C-alpha cells in the first residue's frame, strides 16, 4: 500500500452494474479493509450484469449480491460524496457528473478510461473475453494506483 493512500474510495460508472461494482469488489479483494470502498452510478436503473458476476467469480470475487445504486441513492442512505477522499470515474459520463457533484468539495477525482464490455462480442465466449479484459484492466489499475512499486 502506498503511503499516500486515501482512506475512502468511491468507484463510479454509468449504471453501477458492471465496471464500478467490479472495481469495488476487486479493490476489496486486493487491499482488504485498509481502505473503505464503495461504488455508485449516474443511474441505478438496472441489475448487476450476469457477465460481470461470472468473470469475477472466476477469481473467487462475489458480485451476485451487489445492489446497484446511484449517487443520489448513496446520499439518501447517508453516504455523503464529500466523505470520500478519492472518486475514480470509469466512464466519461460518470466522470462529468461526479466532477459537477464534487466541485465544491475537497474530493480528488480521477478518470480511468475503462472500456464498456457490452459494446463488443457476438457469442457468449466473445462477451466473456471482453468482460475479462475489463476486469483485468481494472485489477492492473488498482495495483498500479494503490500498491507499492515492486509488489
Task: Report the C-alpha gap between 76 and 79 in whole angstroms.
Answer: 7
The CATH number linked to 108 is 3.40.50.2300
Domain of 131 in residue numbering reads as 8-146
**Do the domain assignments include residue 60?**
yes
**Do the domain assignments include residue 139?**
yes
Q: State the average pLDDT over residues 6-16.
A: 95
What residue ranges in the chain does DSSP mark as E strands? 8-13, 36-41, 86-89, 108-111
- Identify the pLDDT of residue 68: 94
**Cβ-contact 71, 30 below 8 angstroms:** no
Instruction: Give the model confidence (pLDDT) of 22-76 as tens digits.
Output: 999 999 999 988 999 999 999 988 899 999 999 999 999 999 999 999 999 988 8
Alpha helices, DSSP H, located in 32-101: 50-57, 71-76, 92-101
- Identify the pLDDT of residue 2: 54
Residue 19 is placed in which grid cell?
465496471
Instruction: Give the model confidence (pLDDT) of 98-122 as tens digits.
Output: 999 999 988 999 999 999 999 888 8
**Do the domain assignments include residue 40?**
yes
- Identify the pLDDT of residue 148: 62
Domain count, the chain: 1
**Do the domain assignments include residue 2?**
no
Q: What is the pTM of this model?
A: 0.92
Amino acid at each position: 500500500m502506498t503511503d499516500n493512500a486515501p482512506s475512502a474510495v468511491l468507484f463510479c460508472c454509468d449504471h453501477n452494474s458492471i465496471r464500478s461494482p467490479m472495481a469495488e469488489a476487486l479493490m476489496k479483494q486486493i487491499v482488504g479493509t485498509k481502505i473503505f470502498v464503495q461504488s455508485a452510478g449516474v443511474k441505478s436503473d438496472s441489475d448487476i450484469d450476469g457477465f460481470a458476476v461470472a468473470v469475477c467469480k472466476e477469481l473467487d470475487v462475489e458480485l451476485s449480491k451487489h445492489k446497484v445504486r446511484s449517487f443520489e441513492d448513496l446520499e439518501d442512505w447517508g453516504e455523503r460524496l464529500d466523505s470520500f477522499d478519492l472518486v475514480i470515474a470509469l466512464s466519461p459520463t460518470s466522470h462529468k457528473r461526479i466532477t459537477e457533484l464534487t466541485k465544491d468539495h475537497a474530493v480528488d477525482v480521477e478518470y480511468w478510461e475503462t472500456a464498456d464490455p457490452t459494446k463488443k462480442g457476438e457469442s457468449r465466449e466473445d462477451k466473456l473475453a471482453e468482460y475479462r479484459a475489463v476486469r483485468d484492466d481494472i485489477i492492473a489499475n488498482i495495483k498500479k494506483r494503490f500498491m507499492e512499486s515492486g509488489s
